[in-house]
Structure 1
Amino acid sequence: MRQLLRFGYHEAVSCMFAVAVFAMLAVTSVVPLPIARYDALLAGCLALTVLLWAVGVETGREVLVIGLFHLVGLALELFKVRTGSWAYPGEAFSKIGGVPLYSGFMYAAVGSYMCQAWRRLDLQLINYRTWPTALAALFVYANFFAHHWLPDLRLLGAIALIAATWRTTVTFRVGPTRYTMPLAVSFLLIGGVLWLAENGATFLGAWQYPDQGDVWRMVHLSKFGSWALLVSVSFVLVAALKRWESLSFPRPAPPQITNPKPLSHSVGGRDPHAPAGQPHAGLR
């Protein structure tokens, strides 16, 4: 139970950006505003980003990742709204092509969570194949656009991701103990949480699907698979940042420990080419 509470605490803190965005959605849905709701949400998300950076919750590099996620998400939003997949019915000065600029921050919230969880839970990747995983994720992202004209190949994209990450595991530390799970399983778990979050967001009027015009309905279960696939794109971007950080800002070697006690649930062994006392090789 202690470990579960520790894990829940780290997850909750890692979701701080997303929770704050949900709070703004809830407040703006019931409180009269002097400006358009979408404009108020954009101002709130910008202020939130600056605040989290100023108090040290987000690092400068993580803020850059949030900005990159905003651009990637905004590009998808502009295309999907134009094709009628969903809509933003409210008026605002900050709308471009029918898409309010605040919408990119909902993707940025996913990037913020991944950066925070990676750092707080000391994530490491074992047998991570950078280029095969990145190419599979790029194929998945491209299919979100191309399936409007070409056959929908998301199943092929899912198979490509499973193949690219077949032997990849992610390890994370909770207190004194390190746990492990297959990377593909983490995509499914995060995708499921995002599907639930999407239901909450549409209920609060963040955006609107065609079948939600007259009365709110639950988001179709097929979107669960879409989110699980889209998570892979987010993960590849964050993994690239962490790879760059490890090369540009290497961690100092840990001090030598006399008679170290083994950790339960520890995974893997030492890198045979690493100096004595170095941790297990992996992408942090």
Structure 2
Amino acid sequence: MKPVVQLLHFGYHQAMSCIFPVAVFGTLALSSVVELPVIYRYDAILLILLAVQYVMYRSGLETRDEIKVICVFHVIGLLLEIYKVRMGSWSYPEPGFTKLLGVPLYSGFMYASVASFMCQVWRRLKMDMTGWPGLASAGLLGGAIYLNFFTHHFIPDFRWWLTVLVLLVFWKTWIIYRVRTTTYRMPLTLAFFIVGFFIWLAENIATFFNAWKYPDQQQGWQMVGFSKISSWFLLVIISVIIVAQLKHVKAGRKTNDSRHSED
């Protein structure tokens, strides 16, 4: 009976952590079948997602620090989207007032939804890590991964070399998470792959509802290639590095504050 109860609690926290990602893809799906006569679809999506973030913050589902992380990811994602659209990797063919260089501003929220999930699940499952390689190694690797998303259009794609580096840098790193009173652990690289796989599934849903289109989907929808899982795998690593480092800095501040209060 206990394993069932543990699984239900784990599923509940995972579901609660997915509120914003579900809002993103639910809005994409609904707006693709419901005609909005007074506003462009891309503009409506942006307004709805801003409203969802406001409600989540005011209701206490998200903290101020989590909102800051989401804003950082929104900017990171939007810059990547602008570049990829200009390089012809995919397109946003519908009109809208809230488009910047051909990219709707709501698109940054698709990346921010990953950050939202990371922050929520970290807090809800009281997550921690062992064997973290440190800011220098993790930061340099994260920067190289992000840069490769831009440079592979001009020089060879180093994603597979970067994947090997990920396995080397994080091979001692484990995620510690807690469900009720029981503590579990998982290799961090396995978590990267699992999250990347589910984002790939979400990407198929998003392209089906015309959130964006790859060149081979212009004449009709087809499944996104499995190779995209490696891209999301690497993107998730950037997300985890930033979130983990911010959590580490915040924990260090709390420790210093408690020491000062004792003094």
In structure 1, stretches of 5+ residues that fail to align are 254-284
Q: Which residue of 2 aligns with 1:214?
A: 219
User: How far apart are the structure 1 equivalents of 2:97 and 2:23?
Assistant: 23
1:239 aligns with one of 238, 244, 261: 244
Aligned to 2:13: 10
Letter in 1 for 2:109: F
Partner of 1:104: 108
Of 155, 159, 175, the match for 1:170? 175
1:27 and 2:18 equivalent? no
Task: State the Cα distance separating 1:251 from its structure 2 match.
Answer: 10
Q: Which amino acid aligns with 2:94?
A: G
Q: Post-superposition shift, 1:250?
A: 3.8
The alignment partner of 1:249 has SS state of: helix
Code of the aligned partner of 1:148 = H
Q: CA deviation at 1:224?
A: 0.6
CA RMSD of the aligned region, Å? 1.3
**CA distance in structure 2 between the aligned counterparts of 1:62 and 1:240, rounded to whole angstroms:** 13
The CA deviation at 1:132 is 1.1
Cα deviation, residue 23, structure 1:
1.4
Question: CA–CA distance in 2 between the matches of 1:250 and 1:216?
Answer: 52
Identity of aligned residues (%): 48
Quote the offset at 1:169 in angstroms. 0.6
2:221 matches 1:198: no
Q: Which structure dedicates a bigger proportion of its chain to helix?
A: 2
1:40 aligns with 2:40: no
What TM-score, normalized by structure 2, do the two folds share? 0.94
Matches of 2:175 and 2:244, distance apart in 1? 12
What is the aligned partner in structure 1 of residue 147 from structure 2? Answer: 142
The AA in structure 2 aligned to 1:22 is F
Q: Give the TM-score of the pair, scaled to structure 1.
A: 0.87
Q: Is contact 1:137-1:161 (8 Å) kept?
A: no
Aligned match of 2:261: none
Deviations along 1:43-98, one digit per CA (max 9) or x if unpaired, are 11111111100000000010010000000000100000000000000000011111
Give distance in 2, aligned partners of 1:252 and 1:153.
43
Give the 4+ runs in structure 1 shifted more than 6 A: none
Unaligned runs of 5+ in 2: 259-263
* 1:124–1:171 Cα contact (<8 Å) kept: yes
Pick the structure with greater CA Rg: 1
